[in-house]
Amino acid sequence: MRKVTLLIACFALLWVACKKEESTVAVVPDETDPGLLAVKRTLVHLDYNYAPNLPNYLITAGLQPVAIDNAKAALGRVLFYDKSLSRDGRISCASCHEPTRAFSDLMGFSMGVGNQRLERQSMPLANTANFAAHYRALDANGAPPLLWDSRTTSIAEVSRFAITNPHEMGMTLSEWMERIRAKDYYAYLWKKAFGHSTPTEAEALQALGEFVGAISAAGSPFDAAMERHAGNPQFTVTVDSIRVFYYGPIVIPTTRVVPPAGFTLSEFRGMRLFTNHCSSCHSPIRPFQTVFEACNGLSTEYKDQGKGLRTGKAQDNGVFKAASLRNVMLTPPFMHDGRFKTLREVIDFYSTGIQPHPNLHPLLRNADGSPKRFNFSDQDKEDLVSFLKMLTDFRPGGDVRFSDPFRR
Ligand code: HEC
Ligand code: HEC
């Protein structure tokens, strides 16, 4: 029956195509196309411009906006939310990458098919894609390292891990493709994205990458404040002027200080502490980040060795990806194992709790090699949290382009 419908659809298409040749009249979507009807029945409106909107100051600082193919991103969005593509029909990418949680989840260890716990905390998805400029130091191809152990630079490969991991979606790739090919809405979406209706695995993974790559987080209060100063088109904006504003004078006057427009006093003091002690590993402005993975001394002996588990090298033990901390308010619990529930706990750890692990990064050691003790005051801790709050962009969670497209 399906084959017959397909045949009819093919003939109809051919006929429309020939008609077009003759008459050069623009083809309007055929409202009786069964694929289109299936899309309308199953899914909400999908046609958007999915490309991220980068503030000027970030472009000046060397970030490159990613080019997004809208039809592929729309298809990727459907794949991302489609629970029927998992072993038990209950898990999609979005189960562990929830839009309201900056595309991470609240679990310490994420939960996959059959309620199985993973061994690591989910990671937020934003600015995941090819921000060539700031990652060039690490990878000649300009792609960012992905996963807690920097295992790959390809979103398609991460997707493949997630689909086939028995604890995540628990499928084989051929089963996954079979289910995609069996859904009438995919035939239509494929035609729009790839010009034909016979889905291939490489295309499916590419579409997922296109969608994930479109998710950005550049609309935080911090970005708004930066745009107001360094991004002001009336000034000649250079990377240096942004650097000077962001890193600013090292000495913070303790007497009355007037914070620059866009910052409260507490946020401004927090930014100063952050740029002095944290931003080499966590810069929200990626070209200024210099360290992308490190051991930050959570303990002297790690249960999960991170990069060391993958490479088998002792010098990689306890080494994990250092995130940009954009959207950090939405992504508790913290660290690869979700050991800290609040930002305050994280800051208490950096203040007095860094452990003397043999691989502890030099930036977190004193000259004699012992772990640093920042000994932040209560005010310092409050200021750091105020600044970290500024890095959160609450929009993508409510952005219709990145929301669940399935009708309920
Ligand atoms: C069962 C939960 C789960 C599901 C389902 C899942 N993920 Fe993940 N995702 C994770 C976890 C956990 C990590 C970190 C894993 C690690 O580092 O070992 C992660 C990491 C990632 C990263 C790396 C982010 C970064 O900044 O390094 C990307 C990209 C990603 N997932 C995309 C996807 C896509 C696309 C899908 C669907 C095909 C998906 N995930 C399905 C739990 C999940
Ligand atoms: C030498 C590099 C380095 C420095 C300096 C550093 N960190 Fe980290 N940070 C890391 C690494 C690596 C991780 C991930 C560790 C893990 O999960 O095992 C991390 C994790 C975090 C996380 C959790 C992120 C998440 O999504 O789970 C927060 C929050 C954080 N750091 C804040 C800070 C603050 C605040 C400072 C300054 C006081 C700071 N860091 C200094 C390397 C660093």
pLDDT 10s digits, 365-401? 999 999 999 999 999 999 999 999 999 987 657 789 9
Closest residue CA from atom 10 of ligand 1: 122
Please, are residues 113 and 167 in contact by the beta-carbon 8 Å criterion?
Answer: yes
Q: Which residues of the chain have pLDDT under 50?
A: 1, 4-25, 130-140
Which pLDDT score is estimated for 366? 97
Q: How far is CA 159 from the centre of its chain?
A: 13
Sign, Cα dihedral of 296, 298, 299, 301: negative
**296 C-alpha to ligand 2 centroid (Å):** 7
Peptide bond into 166 cis (omega under 30): no
Ramachandran area for residue 121 (φ above 0: left; ψ -120 to 50: alpha; else beta): beta
Cα(158) to ligand 1 centroid in Å equals 7
pLDDT of residue 96: 94
Residue nearest to atom 38 of ligand 1 (CA): 159
Atom of ligand 2 nearest to the CA of 376: 38
Cβ of 330 closer than 6 Å to ligand 1, yes or no, is no
Ligand 1 contact, 134 CB (< 6 A): no
Minimal-distance CA residue to ligand 2 atom 11: 322
How far is Cα 355 from Cα 375, in angstroms, rounded to an integer?
A: 14
Residue 277: CB within 6 Å of ligand 2? yes
DSSP state of 233: T
- Give residue 128's identity as a one-letter amino acid code: T
- Tokens 């990613």 appear where? 66
pLDDT given for residue 304 in this prediction:
96
Cβ-proximal residues to 200 (8 Å cutoff; 6+ apart), any chain: 177
Distance CA 238, CA 368 (A): 38
- Asked if 259 contacts 268 with a C-beta cutoff of 8 angstroms, the reply is yes
Report CA(87)–ligand 2 centroid distance (Å). Answer: 35
DSSP H or E stretch at residue 294: strand 293-294
Distance 162 CA to ligand 1 centre (A): 6
For residues 97 and 103, the answer to whether their CB atoms sit within 8 Å is yes
Dihedral angle sign, alpha carbons of residues 199, 191, 180, 397: positive
78 — phi, psi (to 5°)?
-65, -45
Any idea which ligand is nearest the CA of 278?
2
pLDDT value, residue 153: 81
Cα radius of gyration (the chain): 24
List the residue whose alpha carbon is closest to atom 11 of ligand 1.
Answer: 122
Give the DSSP H/E element, type plus range, for residue 225: helix 221-229
- Does ligand 2 lie within 6 Å of residue 126's CB atom? no
